């Protein structure tokens, strides 16, 4: 994806724009600002007086105490001082609120479709002020509207670039990559004269975000049209040819949400309603049975407000992430329990994964694949030592280690008996496992250095990949097709085809193979996802983080 914000040009744009803006404000007719019907006044706005007021704030020692909104601290931001350093207004011409001011009001209200609470931007108060100015163009009202609209825009910019809520979940570690401050964005928005485009520029560029937003709009329209009909009294096992009024209700309910089956009037259970229900189950991460079981009926009767709240939360989580992802990259949505390799905006490799169980949650993080390890040894991490191995030794002694192919060593690398290890001294020892098919890491490991020692790897527990629910690991991500993925990553070298990787692994000799491509890895926690057909999915909140 192309980065629509050209950070290196901001300084130049900022200076040039304000020189242009100063001229435009002094001659509003040349500024090309038209009046919108209903927001004009017969009296003229004294722009000179307004600009003098703006200048008086910044020339006094009371700037720190100036609050555009009561109980607000937006004016404490350097951005507020920066945008008004030329002491010229943005939102008025001599006839009243200009076109840009009117458009900004509409664009701020439209942020509700991003799942944001637009009460944060005092929309009711701003609308009330705009109406008052139609009747009374006192300098107090004009000054108040000017500074308050700017303050609301600055807050909205910050919300769009880095989120409106603080992330209190210590397991969500993905960094935000916004390098712009609010003043820079306001400068560019005014220069381009299009605030809807400005907000679009600030939205995360990952394609899932726009899908979530469109789904939010669709559900809101559905809600305004009366919402979704409840489905009750359906048997949990229906056979072809069965008929009932409840089947007609189900058809109508499915069509309203997923646009199938086409026939919404038939009371008969046929292939069309069966396949439609299967699609609904897939989109709600349910077992795809085609039968209206209890879990399916529960999802069918989920209220729209609940779905919209989930979408709003996940759009917020995406604003916490990078807004532009360098390609290629690996994308693991933890609740979805799948991995995708993305390049040129297309999925080039996909496989199931096993993620951390709730008591050992896989953290959401960003990293980079450094190398592929063939026949990796395994050194037991401190957390697993403390929580699993030491209690296991206490229960079963040395047999606990031998049954798992583990060996204990002291700090000098000498083998020691398991009986020497206990809860008080385990930090003085290391426990490891030799490479092999039965190793906890399997035959392939994908190194992606990070402070939390989380990586992707093979596993001897391959039976887990056929399961519907796949949250069983101790935190790392187990991958379904490790050798295939290794060959895919190393495809630039003829030395590492799938067959050669397989033969190397049989030697049980550890080899580190550098990955020459720059491949970022993003583990994210999103309880909405987008499937390969572009449909928005609703996922199980496996860790309860929602």
pLDDT over 90 for what percent of the chain? Answer: 66
Q: Which residues of 235-265 are buried (b: 16+ CB within 10 A; e: fewer)?
A: eeebeeeeeeebbbbbbebbbebeebbeebe
Are the beta carbons of 154 and 139 closer than 8 angstroms?
no
Q: Facing residues of 372 across strands?
A: 446, 513
The pTM for the full model equals 0.87
CA contacts within 13 A on the Cβ side of 330 = 30
Higher pLDDT pick, 342 / 434: 342
Least confident of 204-208, 231-235, 329-333, 441-445: 231-235
What are 456's strand-pairing partners? 446, 477
pLDDT per residue as tens digits for the range 483-501? 999 999 999 888 999 999 9
pLDDT tens-digit series, residues 139-179: 899 999 999 999 999 999 999 999 999 888 999 999 998 87
What does residue 92 show for φ and ψ, rounded to 5 degrees?
A: -135, 150
pLDDT reported for residue 59: 62
**Mean pLDDT (whole number) for 350-368:** 97
Spell out the domains of the chain, with CATH numbers in brackets.
7-209 (no CATH), 229-302 (1.10.101.10), 325-377+435-546 (2.40.440.10), 379-433 (no CATH)
Between residues 35 and 394, which one has the greater pLDDT? 394
Three-state DSSP state, 366: strand
Strands of the sheet with 430-433, listed across from one edge: 378-379, 430-433, 406-409, 415-416
Give the separation between CA 118 and CA 226, rounded to whole angstroms: 23
Active-site residue list: 457, 476
Q: Is the pLDDT of residue 26 over 90?
A: no
CB 130 within 8 A of CB 105: yes
- CA 485, CA 448: separation in Å to the nearest integer? 15
Q: With a cut of 70, say whether residue 285 has pLDDT above it.
A: yes
Q: Is 62 a residue whose pLDDT tops 80? A: no
Say if residues 540 and 527 touch (Cβ distance below 8 Å). Answer: yes
Question: How many CB atoms within 10 Å of residue 103?
Answer: 17
pLDDT tens digits along 428-473: 999 988 898 889 999 999 999 999 999 999 999 999 999 999 999 9
Instruction: Tell me: cis bond preceding 395? Omega within 30 of 0 counts.
Output: no
CA distance 20 to 339: 49
């Amino acid at each position: 994806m192309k980065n629509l914000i050209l950070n290196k040009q901001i300084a130049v744009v900022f200076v040039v724009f304000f020189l242009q803006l100063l001229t435009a404000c002094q001659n509003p007719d040349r500024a090309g600002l038209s009046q919108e019907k209903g927001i004009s006044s017969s009296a003229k706005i004294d722009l000179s007086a307004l600009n003098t007021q703006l200048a008086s704030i910044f020339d006094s020692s009371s700037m720190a105490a100036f609050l555009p909104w009561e109980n607000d601290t937006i004016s404490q931001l350097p951005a507020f001082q920066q945008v008004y350093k030329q002491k010229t207004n943005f939102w008025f011409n001599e006839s009243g609120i200009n076109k840009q001011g009117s458009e900004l009001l509409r664009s701020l209200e439209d942020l509700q479709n991003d799942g944001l609470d637009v009460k944060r931007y005092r929309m009711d108060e701003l609308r009330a002020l705009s109406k008052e100015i139609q009747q009374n163009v006192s300098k107090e009202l004009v000054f108040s509207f000017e500074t308050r609209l700017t303050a609301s825009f600055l807050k909205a910019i910050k919300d769009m670039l880095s989120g409106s809520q603080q992330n209190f979940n210590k397991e969500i570690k993905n960094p935000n990559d916004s390098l712009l401050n609010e003043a820079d964005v306001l400068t560019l928005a005014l220069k381009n004269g299009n605030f809807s485009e400005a907000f679009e520029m600030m939205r995360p560029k990952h394609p899932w975000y726009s899908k979530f937003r469109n789904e939010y709009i669709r559900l809101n329209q559905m809600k305004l049209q009366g919402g979704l009909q409840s489905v009750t009294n359906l048997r949990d096992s229906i056979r072809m040819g069965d008929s009932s009024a409840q089947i007609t209700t189900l058809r109508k309910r499915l069509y309203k949400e997923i646009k199938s089956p086409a026939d919404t009037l038939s009371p008969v259970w046929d292939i069309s309603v069966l396949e439609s229900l299967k699609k609904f189950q897939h989109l709600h991460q349910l077992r795809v049975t085609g039968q209206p079981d209890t879990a399916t009926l529960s999802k069918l009767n989920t209220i729209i407000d609940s779905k919209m709240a989930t979408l709003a939360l996940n759009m917020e989580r995406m604003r916490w992430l990078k807004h532009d992802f360098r390609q290629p990259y690996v994308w693991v949505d933890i609740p979805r329990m799948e991995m995708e390799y993305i390049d040129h905006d297309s999925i080039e490799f996909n496989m199931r994964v096993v993620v951390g169980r709730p008591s050992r949650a896989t953290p959401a993080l960003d990293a980079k694949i450094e190398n592929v390890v063939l026949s990796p040894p395994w050194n037991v991490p401190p957390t697993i030592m403390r929580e699993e191995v030491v209690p296991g030794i206490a229960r079963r002694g040395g047999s606990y280690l031998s049954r798992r192919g583990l060996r204990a060593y002291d700090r000098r690398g000498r083998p020691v008996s398991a009986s020497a290890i206990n809860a008080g001294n385990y930090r003085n020892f290391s426990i490891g496992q030799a490479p092999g098919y039965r190793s906890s890491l399997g035959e392939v490991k994908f190194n992606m250095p990070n402070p939390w020692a989380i990586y992707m790897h093979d596993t001897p527990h391959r039976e887990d990949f056929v399961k519907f629910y796949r949250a069983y690991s101790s935190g790392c991500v187990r991958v379904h097709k490790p050798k295939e993925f290794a060959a895919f990553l190393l495809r630039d070298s003829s030395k590492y085809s799938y067959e050669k990787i397989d033969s190397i692994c049989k030697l049980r000799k550890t080899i580190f193979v550098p990955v020459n491509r720059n491949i970022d890895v993003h583990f994210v926690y999103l309880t909405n996802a987008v499937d390969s057909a572009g449909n928005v999915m609703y996922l199980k909140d496996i860790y309860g983080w929602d």
